[in-house]
Amino acid sequence: MAIPHLTSADGTSLPAIGLGTYRLTGSDGVESIGQAIQAGYRLLDSAVNYENEGAVGRAARAAQVRDELIVTSKLPGRHHRYAEALTTIEESVYRTGRDQIDLYLIHWPNPKVDLYVEAWRALIEARERGLVRHIGLSNFLPEHIDRLLSETGVAPVVNQIEIHPYFPQQEALDYHRAHGILVQGWSPLGRGNDLQDNQTIAEIAAAHGVTPAQAILAWHVAREVIPLPKAASPKRQQENLDIFGIELTDAELAAITALGRPDGRLADQDPAVYEEF
């Protein structure tokens, strides 16, 4: 299956969909991730705090298409200090068993701790040393990115943020597009809510002969957001990939976007105040 790619301002190209791997751990995780690679996934999302870099790395190393894969990991908040960040990145590389990690992100800015610029400088150094190929961010607000640009002059290739129909983040998308930064969406199908039972989404899905999840993922793709749905079963993995022929109308896209709510965040994790270590 040919998956389209999106390209950042610096020329970095990423698949238009990736696999979320949170809680895909151990031998079961290796099997699920391996099945996803066979189905066609080429972008694998992980993090130090997911405690599964080893499983992701093992599945990636075993894949016949291992040279096509983009393995991602993320730096936890407890290791934002420069030296600690570099050591953590080294350990991430060792855990994956690969020569380098393709994409490394800062997981959360933790602005009250105020070490994210120091962490960013460490990621820049890790890229220069060849530990990682590309660097980016996760859960950063435009104000945080503006500061990184001002103090380091180095832009991220991607920012991974919470996006789903109840929290569409149009202003954030406009900002990233203006700066040539790709956007990945975590929890793109919602989590623990009634999103996939929403009447508007159900009606749009039925009109196209697809599932509600596929309609939601097609909405992401149309907005040039790279969704990272998590799925362990081969059936759901394949279903989530089979979305690139779905052409939603402008009216349908607008109707889904209109489902956004002021309190739409899944767990009230506002990066302006939320911290994760």
Q: For residue 106, what are the β-bridge partners?
A: 75, 137
Contact of 179 with 8, CB cutoff 8 Å: no
Q: Alpha helices, DSSP H only, in the chain? A: 26-39, 53-62, 82-96, 116-128, 142-152, 170-179, 199-208, 212-222, 234-241, 250-257
The single residue of 22, 41, 50, 82 carrying the catalytic annotation is 50
Active site residue 50: yes
**Residue 31 burial class via C-beta count within 10 angstroms: exposed 0-12, middle 13-18, buried 19 and up:** middle
Task: Round to whole Å and give the CA distance between 251 and 244.
Answer: 18
DSSP codes joined into one string, 98-162: SSSEEEEEES---TTT--HHHHHHHHHHHHHTTSEEEEEEES--HHHHHHHHHHH----SEEEEE
Task: Round to whole Å and give the CA distance between 258 and 251.
Answer: 10
DSSP code for 205 = H
Residues 6 or more apart whose Cβ sits within 8 Å of residue 236: 213
Task: Round to whole Å and give the CA distance between 12 and 156.
Answer: 10
Task: Round to whole Å and give the CA distance between 210 and 216.
Answer: 10
Catalytic residue numbers read 50
